[in-house]
Amino acid sequence: MTQSNSQIREYLNFLIVERGLSQNTILAYERDLAKFTSFNSIQDFSEITSPMLENYVSHLRSVGLSESSIARNVVAIRNVATFTCKELKKINPISEFKPPKAAIRLPKALTIQEVSDLIEATNRTDDPHSIRDRAIVELLYGTGARISEIVNLDLSGVSKIDGGEVLSVRLEGKGGKVRVVPLGRYAQDALDQYLVRARPGLIRKDRDALFLNDRGTRLSRQTMWKVVSEAAERAQLAVDVSPHALRHSYATHLLDGGADVRVVQELLGHSSVTTTQIYTLVTIDKIRESYSSAHPRARD
């Protein structure tokens, strides 16, 4: 193992142990850093220079990487250099290197009708798979959860009142941060149906996981993504639909309905309200559009 690879490994171990970052995040950092070391043949992150990083940024642009992806790469490289220099008691030579600023991309939300059509499209038949798939889509939209949070959800994370109807779910987000999210009536009913009518027939190996496949093991991220995309195809939606689009829709519809941005922040599990405020830009755009089309002094 080269010195630079050893430094990367130490940094990733630090993120796992001290920061509690998810496996997906760690793998993304690892891929980005491996590409950089391959491009530069760098031996020691404490000796990296700004011209080296500028050259790498130019290379990433030349291969068509987006500005946001380039920024993520730069931050990862700079963070390893900072960590390594601190360990070696050296001055970080790229501490002032700024990642490129990406344009703010507003999250794409489905309309309420599109969400309804998507959910209804899970009703293929009255078999366990359809009941399970409806519960998945209802839960993604009804909680605003990330797909990884629903995949990793255990039966113990479902809270009931006196063993009766489901009231909330306990989600573990980024950095191991846990939050309790209440369920609306539709999500409650769909989850109750799954727990009573479908899950008992799927239980074989894994008795802890909430959502199970035919083998009786935890449903994978890929399969859950497929559940959403196939339902969108059956609903003939003319927009790109993903599990994350349901999270965007959840946040946007809450704010459209008058929810406080701080409440939405807690429900989404954002560590900063600044992240949540991106959704307010979507609602402001809708307000501006309504004003422009309705007010007599706003029209041509």
> Which residue do the tokens 């980024």 mark?
174
- In whole angstroms, give the CA distance from residue 213 to residue 202: 7
CB of 113 closer than 8 Å to CB of 201: no
Q: Name the residues annotated as catalytic.
A: 146, 174, 244, 247, 270, 279
Find where tokens 């987000």 sit.
173
Given the candidates 3.40.50.1980, 1.10.40.30, 2.60.120.10, 1.10.443.10, the CATH classification of the domain at 112-289 is 1.10.443.10
Residues 167/148, Cβ–Cβ less than 8 Å:
no
pTM of the model: 0.68
* Nearest Cα residue to 179 out of 262, 246, 269: 269
Pick from 114, 113, 130: nearest CA to 122: 130
Domain 3-88 of CATH type 2.40.128: no
Contacts of 118 (CB under 8 A, 6+ apart): 110, 137, 228, 231, 232, 235, 237, 241
Q: Where are the domains of the chain?
A: 3-88, 112-289
> Does this chain's domain 3-88 share its CATH topology with 112-289?
no
Tell me if 119 sits within 8 A of 134, measured CB to CB. yes
Whose tokens are 């802890």? That residue is 208
pLDDT of 300 higher than 60: no
Mean pLDDT, rounded, of the chain: 88
| pLDDT tens, position by position, 63-96 | 988 888 899 999 999 999 999 999 999 988 888 8
Q: Is the pLDDT of residue 107 over 80?
A: no
Residue 45 CA to residue 215 CA, distance in Å, equals 46
pLDDT digits over 278-289, tens only?
888 777 766 676
Q: CA separation (Å) from 163 to 11, 132, 152, 160?
A: 45, 20, 22, 5
Residue 239: predicted pLDDT: 81
pLDDT value of position 22: 77
Number of CB atoms found within 10 A of residue 31's CB: 12
- 74 or 19, higher pLDDT: 74
Does 20 have pLDDT greater than 90? no
- Collapsing DSSP states into helix, strand and coil, what is residue 21? coil
135-139, 221-225, 241-245, 287-291: least confidently modelled range: 287-291
In the chain, the percentage of residues whose pLDDT exceeds 90 is 57
Q: Letter for the amino acid at 147?
A: I
Which amino acid type is present at position 280? T
- Is residue 290 predicted with pLDDT exceeding 80? no
Question: Is there a contact between 48 and 93 (Cβ–Cβ < 8 Å)?
Answer: yes
- Reported in sequence order, the residue ranges of 58-206 that DSSP labels E, i.e. its strands, are 158-160, 166-172, 178-182
Residue 233: which of 147, 132, 139, 118 has the closest Cα?
118
